[in-house]
Structure 1
Amino acid sequence: PRHERLGHLSFGILRQLFPDLCSRLDMTMVSYDVCHLAKHVYMFWVSYPVSLYRSNKVFVMIHSDVWGPSRILFCHGCQYFITFINDCSRNTIVFLLKDRSEVPTVIETFIIYVETQYRVSVKTFRSDNAREYTCQSVDSFFRKKGIVHETSCSYTPPQNG
């Protein structure tokens, strides 16, 4: 049960995380077999090759993801956040959100800010297929600005930048 609650970590990782606990165990009673569930899940995950293309100008390509809801509220009652990662420098900008419905407005505000302050046109915006990224208002904003919206395959966090 603890193995499952800790995300199916291997015994080696558990031993590193909890050395005192593991030193009290009778090692003859411990099975080193790989968890059957984890084995089936990880069988489908393959690592992604490093992208051959890396933007050479700031904010020409932006990666974004939304996280939440948090069980603990952030400042001002926010329970979500959205990240914008600059592909060139890998610098990350984070906006706190009270609700996922704020995402389209924050995307527009952020892109207009970047274009005004850095005098650069955002060309590519990468995100997952979450509803807040694929809604009508975001699609029409990207079309109006000439921004290519690239989405990752569903349930593949490594593709999110």
Structure 2
Amino acid sequence: MQTKTPSGCTYAVTFIDDFSRHVTVYFMKKKAEVLEKFKKFKADMENATGRKTKRLRSDNGGEYTGRLFKEYLSKQGIRHEK
């Protein structure tokens, strides 16, 4: 049995910006929310640092290797390192 947050989330994703070393943790109800959370993190970091996101390093989890995630990274010119 998984433990849930009071808002019903059972998953968390952590993003670290290499340039600023800023760490952000997002809580999710489904792993499918990872792309939405990455888009938010990307926008927030680009606004804060004035620098474009060039690459994403992740494990080989399915939430990072799906078609929609791959297409988004490609359109944004972001290289995916696994």
Fold-level match, TM-score > 0.5?
yes
8 A Cα contact 2:55 2:79, kept in partner: yes
Equivalent residue for 1:100, pick from 21, 31, 52: 31
Distance 1:121 1:104, change over 3 A: same
Between structures 1 and 2, the one with greater strand share: 2
SS at 1:128's partner residue?
Answer: coil
- Who is 1:134 aligned against? 65
User: Matches of 2:44 and 2:20 in 1, distance apart?
Assistant: 17
Deviation at 1:87, TM superposition (A): 2.2
- Could you list the runs of 5+ residues in structure 1 that have no partner in the other structure? 1-69, 152-161
Residues 25-36 of structure 1 correspond to what in structure 2 (within 5 A)?
none
Tell me the residue number matched to 1:125. Answer: 56
State the one-letter code of the partner of 1:91. Answer: H
Instruction: Spell out the pairing of 1:43-82 with structure 2 (5 A cutoff).
Output: 71-82=2-13
Q: Percent identity?
A: 34
Aligned length: 82
Is the contact between residue 108 and residue 141 of structure 1 (CA under 8 Å) also seen in structure 2?
Answer: no
TM-score (norm 1): 0.47
DSSP 3-state at the match of 1:75: coil
Q: Max radius of gyration: which structure?
A: 1
TM-score scaled by structure 2? 0.86
| Structure 1: distance between partners of 2:51 and 2:6 | 31
> Does the 8 Å contact 1:81/1:94 carry over to 2?
yes
Aligned pair 1:86/2:17, yes or no?
A: yes
Provide structure 2 residue ranges, at least 5 long, that are not aligned to the other structure. Answer: none
